[in-house]
Homo-oligomer: A and B are copies of this chain.
Amino acid sequence: MSDAAFVWRGLKKVRMTGPLVLSVTNYVAANLNANGLLAVGASPVMTHQPEEIEDLVAISGAVVCNMGIPAGTLPEALYKAGACANTLSKPLVFDPVGAGASGYRNLVCERLLQAASPDVIRGNGSEIIALAGQSGATKGVDSTHGALEARSAAVGLAKQHSCVVCVSGETDLVTDGKREILIRNGHPMMPRITGLGCTATALVAAFAAVVEDTMEAVAGAMTVLAIAGEIAAKQAAGPASLQTGIIDLLYTMTNEEIDTCAHISG
């Protein structure tokens, strides 16, 4: 699996088929998530209105449940979107934003995992450790743990929920509880862009909509984003121009750039 051919295959398929991704998500990251999906060739649709969830899941290729800011109708929309995705066999990706930061977020996580079985859970180290029920300091929505510190939590969660777990960080870790893929790409300035983790989740959903093997879908999306960050950082004066460069590169990325840059092992 040191061969990155599957990354390009996935990206090409997203571009050719343009899957619709439904996101129940937060307003801090919504705009960047949508632009990330459009740049990679997918189509975003977003709602937190429970009454339209069923119709929108039905026309979507994959579903994102992003805990984002769990207020108003959002929690109910999350539970319904998760259950509908399962019923209609659409890939479901769960992003436990800020898990561990408040008792209420922990409760929403618990209820979502009772209502639905995600195909993928993607979070940062602190969120994955909190979700696995391990004790660990959290700092709001930013991580205080590297991905590798969350390895045992990730493996445990993957086994418990029979899903793929992705922990993003300096090294991204992808595991289904048995196999493991490590992606050593990206740039230290990337965590200074708000919502970039949520955007990773959205891209994972786009790949999962069209790529059969879930491990390859997740690792493919994470690699594309990390390489975009790595290349964009070379010309970025700071986090805002880095964000611009990343979105532009999601749109233009070539097989050659992936081949040259990818550092995947597992």
Contacts and interface: CB of A to CB of B under 8 A. Distances in A.
Chain multiplicity (copies): 3
B194 A44 contact: yes
Contact of A39 (B46, B102, B239): B239
Interface in A92-144: 98, 101-105, 138-142
A7 interface: no
A254 interface: no
A66 interface: no
A5 interface: no
Interface in A1-43: 20, 22, 26-32, 34-35, 38-39, 43
Given A35-B240, A38-B194, 18 more contacts: A29-B31, A31-B194, A34-B194, A35-B194, A38-B239, A43-B141, A44-B141, A45-B98, A47-B70, A48-B71, A48-B72, A49-B70, A52-B103, A52-B104, A72-B73, A192-B251, A237-B245, A238-B247
